[in-house]
Structure 1
């Protein structure tokens, strides 16, 4: 379903709200005016009845018929406009209003000369409503004790309704006249309110494709969350872009050496003068391919780790189980060349099992790689209230203090270790895994000789 634009929604919505408010106001005003109008007409009926009772002079008792008061010759035909609605003889509305006068015995003494005499003889004092020939009449009945007569004044309902219709029409004109300028004002205000949004959109469209810097535009308070969300997205895109560039640069840099070696030894095989020379070159090619395969696997693994975030699914696993799995994943023929001291409690930690085992395996492999045969490798864990500290110690030569801070950087290798197989990515992978677990990785030399790697992970409790 296609959504409306904000401008259209605001303009239409506010206009409808304004029209509703104006209509309700007009209706309430009309109802109030109609109520006041009814009160005025009711008071007029009562006042006319009392005036007639005060000034009426009864006819002689011998008068055979009631006295008829003549009314206008202009009978109301219901037309809104008529040339003969009033004149010397009166007004056409006289057929819609009138009175009856009775004596105390109920004899009709006087009445206005309507076409039809209304049945008003037995009404009690006060206001009444009468339905007669599809017409509604409002009646006031009054008894004068001093004169001994009943006076009943009446008025047809359409006298009031016609006047109220004119009032309703008069209410609509201001409504329409007010709505037009109000609508224009609303349109102008919506334009001003949405102007920062349009400016923001224009700014985004004008940005270069490679411009991933944060947006610094000044925006209204309501649009700041949108700007923050876009800046967060730009930051993530920038990180992914830099990661991909770094991956390509790292891969091309590190693969250049084994590829060059393969090319050189391939040429040697082509031009070899003996089978022994060909075998030596073939072994060199195999070694280069093996190194390149290991390097590619490490690069792909590091790239996958970069794609993960700290919302990776964790589960509670015993630390002793993780350490045992890491040792068992090492080559058996190499593990047997060292003495192992493992002092690890059964404490559980919240982690991704595969990643933590991989990190421990990397660290244990390095400990074996840089320690002399038959030396001791220690694995110790301490459970504190806030964290679990894992220490891996070897009896190697250690590293100079000034390069400890560089350990964990991609492809960094201490120059004295260049003769030992490796790609310089193991500690980078381990460091990334520990970061994903909200932990900390640190390195220390041990006196008089040896090296210690310390992992600090949050306690799952």
Structure 2
């Protein structure tokens, strides 16, 4: 399904809002007008009844009878001048006089209605499809009841005329309003079109932040897009660095493998062939280690962390057990000390990668029959060995990618760089110091998370 445009949604929403506003305004106006007209016309009925009652009382006292002409004239005197001229009151106004419970006189408009005598005050009665409003007033001492009445269709017609006068201009202005709404929405969305135009013109590798004075409502979107572009730029930069580093570092071992393959091919004796094959296997192992470290480094850069409280001793044992054969080949003793309930808040996989890198380094550079001592405490891990160590002047540099403290050392120069990056992700501090027996290398990990607690 094709998504609706913002312009269309705004136009429809504004149109519906306008229609609802007109409807509510009309409903309120109708209610107010109806109430006002009812009050005005009811007041007329009351005034007519009281005046007619005085006329009737005078006629009875002077003549002893009722004059129908005077009834019509009395009703007519309360009507607007233009209605009096047309005598339209006959159709929708009426007057009846009762004497001792009998109809004594009635106006032309009241003939043929056939209503019984109404109770005192206001009441309503039906005649065919028409509803009549009646006001009755009595003079008990004379036995007289005067009724003035009105056909309510007159009021309804008047209200309809008022509503028509109110709504006709609004309906006539609808096309103009639609055009004005469209223009207003079009101008209001200029910022969106400008932003879309900026993005459409960009080169695929252009990650510069979006610029321009946008409306307040679009600034959060602009800020989010700029943040996304910044993260994309960093990600692309890391990918390029990874590819460049991998290409640079793999070039040498690949060339060495080619050369060693040629040596195997040209070996004249079994001993020469065995030596070349051994060198080839070692080169393949180093290349495999390098490649795995590069992949680990790339994976760390895209890892989403969900920290949890971890028992450090258990994690260390798991990592050490995976490297038991490597340590056994060099007869290296790996010891673990510290409380069993020592814990830290960290992401399990990342912590295993970190410990694996550091323990691999310690095994690689610790001489045969050497020692590696690991100590755990709450929020802290220390790994020390009795290998050659790293000069104090170079301890900060070894965290850089592909940096080797000594050129004659084996390795890719990525181990401690990976460890530093994992520590950054885990929000942990890593520090290098002295190892065992006044020599070797010591690595201290301190987890900053203040919520770390004993497991």
TM-score by length of 2: 0.83
Q: How does 1:111-260 map to 2 (within 5 A)?
A: 111-114=106-109, 116-119=111-114, 122-144=117-139, 149-177=144-172, 179=174, 181-260=176-255
Offset at 1:196? 1.4
Q: What is aligned with 2:296?
A: 301
Distance 2:392 2:160 in 1: 99
1:345 aligns with 2:336: no
Q: What is aligned with 2:98?
A: 102
1:440 aligns with 2:429: yes
Q: What is aligned with 2:44?
A: 44
Q: What is aligned with 1:408?
A: 399
- Among 383, 389, 401, the alignment partner of 2:380 is 389
Deviations 1:152-182 (A, max 9, x none): 2222222222222212211212433565555
Distance change (3 Å), C-alpha of 1:107 and 1:310 = closer
Q: 1:97–1:154: 8 Å Cα contact kept in structure 2? A: yes
Query: Which range is displaced more, 6-15 or 290-299?
Result: 290-299
Q: What is aligned with 1:78?
A: none
1:455 aligns with 2:445: yes
1:431 aligns with 2:425: no
Distance change (3 Å), C-alpha of 1:320 and 1:151 = closer
Is the partner of 2:387 in helix, strand or coil?
coil
Distance 1:121 1:340 in 2: 117
Q: 1:295–1:423: 8 Å Cα contact kept in structure 2? A: yes
Q: 1:19–1:179: 8 Å Cα contact kept in structure 2? A: no
Offset at 1:211? 0.9
Is the partner of 1:309 in helix, strand or coil?
coil
Offset at 1:209? 0.8
Is the partner of 2:206 in helix, strand or coil?
coil
Compute the RMSD of aligned alpha carbons: 3.4
Is the partner of 1:411 in helix, strand or coil?
coil
Distance change (3 Å), C-alpha of 1:315 and 1:448 = closer
Is the partner of 1:137 in helix, strand or coil?
strand
Distance change (3 Å), C-alpha of 1:41 and 1:207 = same
Q: 1:71–1:95: 8 Å Cα contact kept in structure 2? A: no
Offset at 1:460? 2.6
Q: 1:380–1:391: 8 Å Cα contact kept in structure 2? A: yes
1:399 aligns with 2:394: no
Structure 1: gaps (5+ residues): 73-84
Distance 1:209 1:332 in 2: 49
Offset at 1:144? 4.4
Query: Which range is displaced more, 393-402 or 350-359?
Result: 350-359
- Residue-pair matches, total: 436
Structure 2: gaps (5+ residues): 73-81
Q: 2:71–2:95: 8 Å Cα contact kept in structure 1? A: no
Q: 2:343–2:377: 8 Å Cα contact kept in structure 1? A: no
TM-score by length of 1: 0.82
